[in-house]
Structure 1
C-alpha cells in the first residue's frame, strides 16, 4: 500500500469522494475550507495514474461542498451538495461552472445521490433542515419533499435494485425507507441505535440488505424483511463512522471510514472483526468509495487534505 497520497487538496479538507461509473481512473473529490465551518468549497476532478493523481479540472463554490455524485447518464456531469442549502450541477467538459444551481433546502445539503436504476434520471438530496428532496434536472424545482425525520438528515441513497426506492439516515437515530410512488411518508422506520446514524449503503447483491454506520462506532447490517434487529454488528472503530460502502464485487464485503482516522474492511459472512485496519490519515476520514471497474480498489479522503487510491491487502483479487 502506498504511503504518499494520490492527491493533495491543499487548504481544502476532504468530505466526499467518488469514482466515475464510466472512466475507471477518474475520481471526483468534494472539499471545503476550514473543515466546512466557514469559507468556500472546491470540486476536484482527478485521474489516478501510475505516476500519481493528475488534476484535470477544479471548480470553486462560494460555500463548502459536502457530497458528490456522478451522473448515471452522462460521463461529464456531476452533482454536489453545498453548505448554503443548494445543489450544484457541474459539467467537467466545461471550463467553468456550475451549469445549474438548485436551491430549496434551508440548511446544509450533506448528501446527494443519483439513481442507478434503469430508466430513472432522478437525484435525492439530504439536508440538515430535516428533509429530503427529489429532483429531476430537467425541471426548475424539486418534484417532492420528504419530511418525517426529527433531526438532520445526513444521507439519502437510492436502492440499486428497486426503482423508486431510497433510504435515508438521520441524527434522529433511525434509518428510513421511502417509496416515491406511494406517499411522502416513510415506508419503513427502523430504529438503529441510541446515537446518530451518519451513513448507510445498500448491498449490491441482495436487495433486502442495507448497512449503517453511526456515532456509537458500530457498523450494522439490516434485512428489510425482518428489520427489528440487525443481522450483523461489526465493532472495531473507536469513534463515529462517517461513511460505509458495500463492495460492488463481493456481496459480503464492506468498507468503513471514521473519525478515528482509519479505514477498515470487513467480511460480514466470515467474522465480526475487521479484515484490515488502514492507517494512512492523520485526521478525520470522511470520504470513501469502491471502484466499479477494478475489484478491491478503494479511494478515500480526509480532513488532512489527502486522498488515497489503493487496493487493501485484504481485498486483493488473489487473496483467499
Structure 2
C-alpha cells in the first residue's frame, strides 16, 4: 500500500490517469468542503507500490472541489466540479484553471469526461438539480437535462454508447441520450432513499450499478428494471461511490460513510454472499474511489481523514477478465 496525506484538506474524489499508469488526480477541501479553499493534487506513484508517492503538482482553488475527471484527449488536462457553480478545466502544469465554465447556479457536485465519440464532452451534475453537457473545446454548455427532484450526485458516461450517460439523485437513476429530447430515455426507481452514485459495467451497456443512502449497492439490467439483478448489503452507512472493475465483468468496489471500502462479485452463485472483502484503513468518511485501467486490481481511495491510499486488495490481486 502507498499512502500520502493531504495535510488539512479532506479528500473528495480520486481518479487514475487514462494515459499514465503512475498518475493519480485528487481533489480535497478545507473544513470538510463546507467552507474554505480546496486544491487539485496530482500524485505520481509506483504501480508496484514499492516507492513513496510524490505530489508533482498542486493547484489551489478558492472554493470547494468535489469531483475530478481526466481529459480523454490530453494527458495534461483534467476538470473539476466546484462549489462556486463552475466546471474548471486545468492544465496540470499550471496553477490556475485554463477554462472556467459557468451555467449551474449552485454547487457542481460531479463531472465525467466522455470516453468515446466526441471526446471534448464533459457531463456535470449540480445542487441545482440539473445535468449539463459541455463542449470543452468550445468552452460552452451545449445541452441541459432537467428532471431530477434533488441534488444530482453523479453523472457517468456509458463506455459503450458514446451518446448516453446516467445520473443519480432523488432515489432514482436516469438514463439520458444526447440524440433525443431532454427528458430521460429511462428512469429507474433505484432506491427508497437518495441515490448517491452509479457506474456502468465496462463489459455490458445494459448493466448499471447504484449506491445509496440506504446502505445498499444494487445492480440493474436496463432491459428489465422492475427488480434489481442483485442487491449487495454490508455497509452500515450511506454508500458514497461505486466503481465497476475494468478487468472483471462482475466485480464492483464501493466506499461508504462507514469508513470502509468493500469489494463485491455480483455474479456469485445464488446462496453465496457477494461480498469479497472489507477494507477498513480509514478513520473518517471514505468519499473518493477509483480502479486503475492499467494495473489489474489496483485501487485508490480518499477520505475525510486527510489520507489517500493506493493499494491492491487481496481479492483483486489475481483479477482477470471474465
Superposition TM-score tier, normalisation by shorter sequence: over 0.9
Matched with 1:300 is 301
Matched with 2:229 is 231
Matches within 5 A, 1:236-315: 236-270=234-268, 271-315=272-316
Residue of 175, 178, 182 corresponding to 2:176: 178
Query: Does 2:2 align with 1:16?
Result: no
Matched with 2:149 is 150
Distance 1:53 1:224 in 2: 40
Distance 1:119 1:287 in 2: 26
Query: Does 2:116 align with 1:117?
Result: yes
Residue of 28, 31, 36 corresponding to 2:28: 31
Distance 1:142 1:115, change over 3 A: same
Distance 1:214 1:226 in 2: 20
Distance 1:186 1:318 in 2: 35
Query: Does 2:141 align with 1:136?
Result: no
Contact 2:284/2:304 (CA < 8 Å) preserved in 1? yes
Contact 1:195/1:216 (CA < 8 Å) preserved in 2? yes
Query: Does 2:10 align with 1:7?
Result: no
SS of 2:32's equivalent? helix
1:191-211 CA distances to partner (integer Å, 9 max, x unpaired)? 112100000000001110000
Distance 1:138 1:119, change over 3 A: closer
Contact 1:236/1:273 (CA < 8 Å) preserved in 2? no
Matches within 5 A, 1:192-231: 192-231=190-229
Distance 1:38 1:162 in 2: 38
Matched with 1:47 is 44
Deviation at 1:260, TM superposition (A): 0.1
Q: What RMSD, in angstroms, separates the aligned Cα atoms of the two structures?
A: 1.3
Q: Which runs of no fewer than 5 residues in structure 2 stay unpaired?
A: none
Distance 1:138 1:69 in 2: 16
Q: Which runs of no fewer than 5 residues in structure 1 stay unpaired?
A: none
Distance 1:119 1:125, change over 3 A: closer
Distance 1:279 1:166 in 2: 32
SS of 2:7's equivalent? coil
Task: Number of aligned residue pairs: give it.
Answer: 315
1:106-159 CA distances to partner (integer Å, 9 max, x unpaired)? 111110000111443210000010000110012242001110101110011100
Deviation at 1:306, TM superposition (A): 0.3
Contact 1:69/1:112 (CA < 8 Å) preserved in 2? yes
Distance 1:149 1:318 in 2: 37
Deviation at 1:318, TM superposition (A): 6.9
Contact 1:261/1:282 (CA < 8 Å) preserved in 2? yes
Moved more, 98-107 or 240-249: 98-107
1:244-272 CA distances to partner (integer Å, 9 max, x unpaired)? 00000001000000000000001111143
Distance 2:236 2:209 in 1: 18
Distance 1:287 1:193 in 2: 21
Deviation at 1:103, TM superposition (A): 1.2
1:147-177 CA distances to partner (integer Å, 9 max, x unpaired)? 010111001110000121000000x110000
